[in-house]
Structure 1
Amino acid sequence: MACLPMVAPFAPFAPFALLALLAAPHCRAEWKVTPRVDLRETYTDNVRLETNDAARGAFVTDLTPSLSIASDHPRLKLNATFGASLYAYSNDPLEGSGPNNGTSNTSRSQRNLTGSARAKLIEEVLFFDANASIGQQNISAFGPQVGNNSNGYLGANRAQVSTYRISPYLAHRFGNDASAELRYTRDSLKSGNVGLGDSTGNSVSMSLASGAAFRTLGWGIQLSRQDVEDSLARASRSETASATLRWRVQESLSVNANGGYDKYDYAALGGTTAGKSYSLGATWTPSARTSVQVSAGRRYFGASYSLVASHRSRYAVWSANYSDAVTTTRAQFLLPATINTAAMLDRLFIANFPNPVERAQAVDAYIRATGLPASLADNINYFTNRFVLQKQVQLAAAFNSAKTTTVFSLSATKRQALSTQQTDSTLLGASQSSLNDNTRQAAASAVLNYRISARSGATVQLTKSRTDSLSTGLSNQQNLVSLAVTRQLQRKLKGALELRRAQGNALSQGGRTYRENAVSASLSLTL
């Protein structure tokens, strides 16, 4: 058992190693390995995002080696990037900070991993999905927020969250009549913070759906069960069952009806945790570029609606999404539904890069070359051990021209706690126990990149967010403005200069305002 602390940090890498071993006997994958080194020097007049009277300046050196691995074999699709950032400071404003554990105001080092993979182990029978992540996440929606990667050294209100998810499944097609899938999933989350419990989950799901023979009238059945073990909260279980009927009215339009039953096991504040569900909906797909799915119905917690709409033209993409669901912080980290720059550009690049792996590489290269931020303004998946009812709307648009790329995003989220406060006692303490009972968040961002020449560009980013605790009356606002200029110095060497100004107020500072002005210069070398 003594070796476990050494093994645990590498757990998120296990899914990819396992997939490579399983797929190796069946394929000779063409691996693309890309090493990269980034060096950034920053001067900030408020290195810890303290209140104005306590602000301290510092030079911060950030060295980040990283490695990207990709495979596009028919039997193995894999895309993963791992990096480690090391930080040094001109003075020691962060005396005794050590590794970032969510309690220090700065970090000496941190790791980052994003990866996903899919393998065909037995043709048309056995498949294997996996994904993993390591990264810094905001602990509270009422603390200082990190605007982008340029101030990744900030440790206040952040913790390193590690997740992995592995999912082998059997799939079979019964000719043109039906298709079936039986899936097992094991997932894990380690929060890096004593207030959010580490957890593991085991899920089993089954689906049976009509095939091409049922062109006009289709049907489907879905069953699922998940058990979660948590180090702080008691074990929980969720079970769902549903049946769907679909009627194709015309080639581009179909309507559907859904009925089922949901059952959750958690310490409720009051009321039921299970009940029948039903909904009516429609899907409209007039072309390969446009899709709209809507539904309205009722679940045990009340009225329920959903919207998934997207449209793509040659130079623009639009998307609109609305959802409501019973969920948890761990569920949102394991299966995030965020809008980011990469996702928008991915759809914008479909015409030029139909292959998904090649498109992902092209999007990553484009973001690095132009200096676009990897993520857009989004609502905070703040730490809580409670079950919540989450209602969320997301709107985004991206436009591309010969000289510019512009991305807009709007998001709003309302969370209402459904389970008791006791599991958050370590996280919030007695004085703030009601802080997350009922919250509302809104965020907006605009990003404009202008290509000055074939080798140079400038990017402006504006971000604004607000969080309200409807149960306590407390609120938090964050603003960020940044300007970055990039230059391709050599074929594999890029330089950048960035100016930024951040302003906000934080509950941890008594709601008082903090401001930061910073300038940074960076070099990025692809080996």
Structure 2
Amino acid sequence: MAMVMGMGTVMGQVEQGWVAARMNNSTRVSLCKISRLASIAMAVILAVPYSLNAGEWKSKGSITFGEIYTDNVELDDDNKESKFISVVRPTIELEGKGRRAEMSLVGAFEFNNVGGGADSFNPRVRGDGAIELLEDFFFVEGDIYSNQTLIDPFAASGSTQLNRSDNVTTTYDYSVSPYLVHRFARFAELQVRYTYDDQINKGDELSDSVQRMSVVTLNSGPDFGPLSWTLRADHQKTEFDGDGFMNQDGDNERSTASIKVGYELSRKWQVNSTVGQEWNNFQTFDDDDTDGTFWDVGAIWSPNGRTTFDVGYGKHFFGDTPRFKFTHTTRRTSLTVNYSRSVTDTRSERRAASLFPTEDPFGDLIDPITGEPLFLTDNLTFRDQGVFVNELFDASLTLKGKRSDLTFFVRESKQLREDIDSDAKFTSTGIRFNRKLSSKISVTSRLSLDERENRTSSESEITRFYLSLDRQLGPRTTVTLGYSFSDRDADGFGRDYKENRLNLGLTIDF
């Protein structure tokens, strides 16, 4: 009964949110763009299944009713306020595959009554599709995406969007990518691709943007045996609606032309090299030349089917570009280590989050949606738009037992701006533990330390602990009881806070 009353309260809050939105011009603009995105997404969802009539379909859905208690909804130790939050979260999983088309869609749509200016509707969606319009010649791919994004990574924020920090917005993104393919017998394959990508941020805290990209590639065919080569030319242009939080012009334009050559020495060894020219047009802080030659050399060693080393070294206009990737998997152990240094921009980093993993580290299929809270993703970046060099290190070790698995992880992103004199470092380390106590009861826990540094403003450390117990009540019903604790210690801009949170959820599958 309490959950039903909570659902009514949530829907009332949603209605109030829409009324308030009508009173704000910038919100109206965002809602118009979001409506356009929804229309395009619906057209794609309806069009692709038309080509999947004779295909294979899989579908799954659920709805979660939740009640959350927090002792600090404002995330501010000087202004603590406790609150009960009601949540209703329907979810959907859809997958279809036919002879000439395929699509997949995973979505969680969370309604809540947090109030205080917080969004009462939080969609998290990932969908993609592909269709072959002319056999072996003309194809179209597309995807849709929405996720909750931190506005300012150096200000106070919770582990989820269910608080009143006013530091979370929703980012919507869709892309359409038609391309042509032509095969020159067994000699080579030509592909000409155009991609239109539109990113929309709710409200006016982050600027909307459009990215257009054209790519032409000519790849070697089977006639060349162990030798492979690729000729590539691409042009990418990104335009922002405004100058953003720092009145910074984030528009950028980049073009490259390159040739890549690889040779398979044996089943275990491959070598490769790339050389090319790049032309970049974006604002730089110190007026450095952003054009010039780039190159990369590397090797791949796969001593067996469980282990792979992929290493390389190169140079671009911004400096050295070393890279390293190592994977090793056994029946009980999975180790992955990645390191890279590349140039990107803030819109791309916000888009890079992995929302719904469908495989565990061992390649086994897992349910991408559970009754657990929708935690914020860790793809942090600057508040304003701009180009930066991203030095990224990411590693994880998973140990798997008969009924348990234990994961250690670390992720560090050093971001050096090219357009302004600024840099940042985001580091996350932690441990995850899952154990199945019986056929119907399981425990999930996580402990993490998030460190955020900015040369010009602040440093902060956030310790988070989460523990939950899942109990299957029936074939389609699960109850989840969880506890979380957050402790933020910040210097400079920002605020310290401690928060305890309890959540109770009932999930019904259908």
- The TM-score range, normalised by the shorter chain, is 0.7 to 0.9
Deviations 1:393-418 (A, max 9, x none): 11122333221122222111111111
Aligned to 1:142: 154
In structure 2, the residue matched to 1:368 is 370
Give the structure 1 partner of residue 463 of structure 2.
479
Q: Which residue of 1 aligns with 2:335?
A: 318
Question: Does the CA contact (< 8 Å) of 1:379 and 1:443 recur in 2?
Answer: no
CA distance, structure 2, for counterparts of residue 13 and residue 323 of structure 1? 38
Distance 2:229 2:192 in 1: 17
The 3-state SS of whatever aligns with 2:370 is helix
Q: Secondary structure at the match of 2:367?
A: helix
Alignment counterpart, residue 492 of structure 1, candidates 456, 476, 482: 476
Q: Distance in 1 between matches of 2:413 and 2:181?
A: 36
Matches of 1:162 and 1:208, distance apart in 2 = 33
In structure 1, distance between residues paired with 2:128 and 2:163: 26
**Aligned residue for 2:79?**
54
- Structure 1 unmatched runs, 5+: 98-105, 351-358, 421-433
Equivalent position amino acid for 1:396 in 2: S
- Residues 16-165 of structure 1: pairs in structure 2 closer than 5 A: 17-18=43-44, 20-21=46-47, 24-25=50-51, 27-50=53-76, 52-88=77-113, 94-95=115-116, 97=117, 106-148=118-160, 152-165=162-175
Aligned equivalent of 1:285, options 297, 302, 308? 302
Change (3 A) 1:342 1:112: closer
The CA deviation at 1:209 is 1.5
The residue identity in structure 2 corresponding to 1:277 is F
Give the C-alpha shift of residue 514 in structure 1: 0.2
Is 2:488–2:496's contact at 8 Å kept on the other side of the alignment?
yes
1:173 shift after superposition: 3.0
Residue correspondence of structure 1 range 134-283 to structure 2 within 5 A:
134-148=146-160, 152-233=162-243, 234=249, 235-270=251-286, 271-283=288-300
Which stretch of the first structure deviates more once superposed, 450-459 or 6-15? 6-15
Evaluate the alpha carbon distance shift between residue 16 and residue 406 of structure 1 in structure 2; reply closer, same or farther with a 3 A threshold. farther
- CA–CA distance in structure 1, aligned partners of residues 185 and 374 of structure 2: 43
Contact 1:207/1:220 (8 A) holds in 2: yes
Partner SS state of residue 183, structure 1: strand
Aligned-partner SS, 1:68 = strand
Structure 2 SS opposite 1:187: strand
Could you tell me how far apart the structure 1 residues matched to 2:333 and 2:234 are? 38
**One of 363, 383, 396 as aligned partner of 1:349:** 363
Deviation at 1:222, TM superposition (A): 1.1
Match of 1:428 in 2: none
Q: 1:398/1:116 Cα in 2 relative to 1: closer, same or farther (>3 Å)?
A: farther
- Following the alignment from structure 1 to structure 2, what is the Cα–Cα distance between the partners of residues 58 and 64? 19
Counterpart residue identity of residue 349, structure 1? G
C-alpha RMSD of matched pairs (Å): 2.6
Structure 2's unaligned 5+ residue stretches are: 1-27, 244-248
Q: 1:3 to 1:409 in 2, by over 3 A?
A: closer
Q: Which residue of 2 aligns with 1:8?
A: 34
Q: 1:482 to 1:300 in 2, by over 3 A?
A: same
SS at match of 2:91: strand
Which letter does structure 2 place at the counterpart of 1:342? P
- Deviation of residue 10 (structure 1)? 4.9
Relative distance call for 1:381 and 1:471 in structure 2 (3 A) is: closer
CA distance in structure 2 between the partners assigned to 1:376 and 1:286 by the alignment: 38
Letter in 2 for 1:314: R
Q: 1:445 to 1:294 in 2, by over 3 A?
A: same
